[in-house]
Every structure is written in C-alpha cells, then in structure tokens.
C-alpha cells in the first residue's frame, strides 16, 4: 500500500514541476511588457526574485555557520588513557 502512495506523490510532484516550469517560461519570456509591479515588468521580476532567493540562501548559510562557530563551546581537552598514564616518554639525549 505504501508504494501506491509513493507513486501518487511522485506523479503529483512531476505534474507540479511541469506546471511550474511552464509558468516560469511564460513569466520570463511571454508575459506582456505593459504589466508591471513597482515600476518593473514581470520579466524583470522573473530574474530578480530567483537571483535574490539564491543570494539570500547563500548568505543565510554563511550566517548559520558563523553563528554555530560563535556559540559552540570549545572542545574539552582529551584525558589520557589509563595505560598511557603509567608510561613515561624516554628522554632524548642531545
């Protein structure tokens, strides 16, 4: 029964992806020039929005790495193993 649900999700994702591809193609190449939002044509926004999202994703990733590095406590020094404590290193003669 699980595979039927997986197939249905796969088909749904496939069809939604095709629909999104067709919509983006129309948005980028076929949208009327006279349609504008905030003084820019729809075609301009078809480039601006994805580029902005990619840049923001990259910057958020860098932000997250920096935050993790800044807030992670330093590692504790490793304790010597019991069998290493009894042994002394031979002194080097010069």
Lowest mean per-residue pLDDT among 14-18, 38-42, 58-62, 70-74:
38-42
CB 31 within 8 A of CB 46: yes
User: Does 48 fall in a domain?
Assistant: yes
Higher pLDDT, 70 or 84: 70
| Average pLDDT over the chain, rounded to an integer | 87
Q: Is position 44 within any domain?
A: yes
Angstrom distance (rounded) from CA 80 to CA 86: 10
Domains in the chain: how many in total? 1
Question: Does some domain include residue 94?
Answer: no
Q: What is the dihedral of CA 8, 13, 15, 17, to 10 degrees?
A: -170
Question: What is the pTM (predicted TM-score) of this model?
Answer: 0.59
Q: How confident is the model at residue 13 (pLDDT cuts 50, 70, 90)?
A: very high
């Amino acid at each position: 029964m699980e595979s039927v649900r997986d197939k249905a999700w796969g088909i749904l994702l496939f069809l939604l992806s095709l629909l999104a591809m067709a919509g983006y193609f129309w948005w980028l190449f076929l949208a009327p020039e006279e349609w504008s939002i905030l003084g820019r044509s729809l075609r301009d926004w078809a480039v601006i929005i994805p580029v902005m999202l990619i840049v923001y994703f990259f910057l958020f990733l860098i932000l997250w790495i920096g935050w993790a590095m800044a807030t992670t406590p330093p590692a504790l020094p490793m304790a010597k193993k019991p069998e290493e404590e009894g042994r002394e290193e031979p002194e080097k003669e010069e």
